[in-house]
Structure 1
């Protein structure tokens, strides 16, 4: 069928059920990515005891996910631009399934490293692929909102990776829990392949013009100072979520605030819940008023204040719960960084642009998880319980202090960000 004469639908006719389903499948893969990202946080004591590792080694083990995820973001973006999300995400999910199985059967740290590395590679396409599908299926005036909604799907994964996975670990074991996550990835890969198409044109023809060459696309992205500033600020707004709610927060709440695993994971999840509401709110405000930079600055400023109060003031657990929710909500404003990347780069390299920002975002996990673990070990006084290291309040304060410092750096970086919005129909 001739594409020109058949007049396929324009990109992302609002209200198109097909467009929402396609984007929703992409967002669902990001939900799964976040489940995998945070699930080790409810297994810390079992992993320490079973694999006989320290806090620094355990942080490094968890960070292997981020090494792969962050390190591959730019190639992922270029592949999505060149080959489309459908085939890349479906194949990657199968790899994540294999990595989950390997991790679940690991008896050595090296095998566990390999499993987490493969999982990180397998889920690396989720968020950027979802944004690419949103770019292909929806008009630009809805992009910031869809970016926020995609992030909300990720936060749903963060919530599912906390209390529900904690309950599963208690009911079975960390090994069986990871095996179940591997099976879920395989099922999701099959459904994604059957349901998703790269763009509306491919509903009519399999022949579409590929994106630019990888090197050319990369050159366009790296040449723009705006992309570097957006990457830095978005990373600063993500580090506290990955470090606290994503990993060390549960152990901190259990050891310092005497909460049970279930209670600690539930309280820690408030950060994900806040992020889940804050991301689409920031996206909607950005689309509504066309001022993503101002919104980003307001959100990061409030996050800096709430996080500092939680770490440095003597406050009760109930107040920590509220401050975690506020911090999560305002840190969710990092999606405005992707919106500004959308407006600052040509459509043909948007996948690479999103991936570049997301590389910096996820690299914070690779950096801060082992860094905090190292700082905790540095202040450790030798106390252990059933093979698990017990850190005191001073150690956690020292370890977590790198987070507000990075947030302040991100806030200062926004002063040089340009707010150039492209109004496209």
Structure 2
């Protein structure tokens, strides 16, 4: 049993370590989503078009996704404490640079720093969970980590927006930088190294990594997880990270305060639906793909209803939209469940990395396409409601590609299970 109690600590101390890690993750989510709620102000400050603003978030996500494997390798060698501290300080430096930037070049560099620090945080917090908690608690604590981390979106949607519309840009992003430094110092002081009996750091040769990557990719269950992540995550990520707040203000005519309230509802709905979706996955593991398709149908249906309605849409319909879009985040976690159940333990990390690419690729494409459509249809930098209706419609193409991917790889996975004599061993006992 790898927990604090066995190594001289107390359960309260273990939860305290985890709490510090969660605090770092909450602040990381604040940094990640801060530029999205400042999209309109950023356009004025940097005299930038919609496409240029979209490229900020695209670059940030590219850095985040591109560093996942290197960060995993560093985590095995340096441990969660150093990684969390380093990530917090990187993000704080990026926010400080952005606070005083008035030109595009330093602002771009600032978002690169934020993306790099963000990439170091969540996986390191999961490292704390895996090191200090007994195995029977790891799944529950992992879910709690993801749910509680979403409080960072509330921080960006409410107090950060209030600072933007009060003291202004520099005060808002300077405060975010100060919070990042505070979390970094807290992590440095409070986090501990792994317990002595946790074993030596994991090592792997390049050849072994390559073999695991190929084997994980060739299994259709892994690709089913990738397409699941692809088709469920992108709409919510695009909404929360870049275009949701500008759409609610400029496309639907809401005040910044009401738009912030809807983004808060989005976060709360994500947190509330996560355990419910997780329960359904555990209860009906052989019907996971139908759950995925149901979430996509709810998401696409809500968007179709809102976009078909001449703006401004009724308030109740916007609430329904936010609630449906919020299902995508927890739904994307089903992709990781595919990676876990279709791959042996020694390559589950590789399979999880493959799955994680799907949602980020879809989100990057969608953010860019929406920015390009807005640039093409909006006069100057004023985003019109009609331009937003056309821009959000590009999601239909992403859903079509994603659903086709899910259906195709689901069929391949079923064939693989049917012909593989050892297939039942690849499923969880509850599935069998």
Q: TM-score, normalised by structure 2?
A: 0.83
Count matched residues. 408
Counterpart position of 2:270: 275
Task: Sort the Cα spacing of 1:344 and 1:133 in 2 relative to 1 into closer, same or farther, 3 A.
Answer: farther
Q: Which residue in the other structure is 1:375 paired with?
A: 373
Alpha-carbon offset, residue 112 of structure 1: 0.3
Q: Distance in 2 between matches of 1:311 and 1:138?
A: 46
Q: 1:9-408 alignment to 2 at 5 Å? A: 9=3, 16-138=11-133, 145-197=140-192, 202-205=194-197, 208-213=200-205, 216-217=208-209, 219-225=211-217, 226-291=221-286, 292-314=288-310, 315-380=313-378, 382=379, 389-408=381-400
Q: CA deviation at 1:331?
A: 4.2
- Structure 2 residue runs without a partner (length 5+): 415-425
Q: Match of 2:387, SS?
A: helix
Following TM superposition, by how much is the alpha carbon of 1:191 offset from its aligned partner in structure 2, in angstroms? 2.1
* Larger displacement relative to structure 2 (300-309 or 85-94): 300-309
Structure 1: distance between partners of 2:308 and 2:142: 33
Shift of 1:147: 4.2
Q: Which moved more, 1:364-373 or 1:57-66?
A: 364-373
| Contact kept in structure 1, 2:87 and 2:116, CA below 8 Å | yes
Moved over 6 A (4+): 10-13
Seen in structure 2, the aligned counterparts of structure 1 residues 151 and 310 have a Cα distance that, compared at 3 Å, is farther
Higher relative contact order (CA 8 A, sep 6+): 1
Bigger drift between 44-53 and 213-222 goes to 213-222
8 Å Cα contact 1:376-1:395 kept in structure 2: yes
Deviation at 1:300, TM superposition (A): 3.0
Structure 1 gap segments, 5+ residues each: 1-6
The secondary structure found in structure 1 opposite 2:150 is: helix
Farther-moved stretch of structure 1 (111-120 vs 394-403): 394-403
Q: Distance in 1 between matches of 2:337 and 2:5?
A: 18
For 2:95 and 2:208, locate their aligned partners in 1 and report how far apart those are by CA, in whole Å: 35
The C-alpha deviation readout for 1:112-170, integer Å capped at 9, x for no partner, is 00011011101112233333443444566655544433332232111221122101212
Q: Secondary structure at the match of 1:358?
A: helix
Change (3 A) 1:107 1:265: same
Cα deviation code 1:282-314 (max 9, x no counterpart): 223334554544443433332232233233345
Instruction: Give the TM-score normalised by the residue count of structure 1.
Output: 0.84
Moved more, 398-407 or 161-170: 398-407
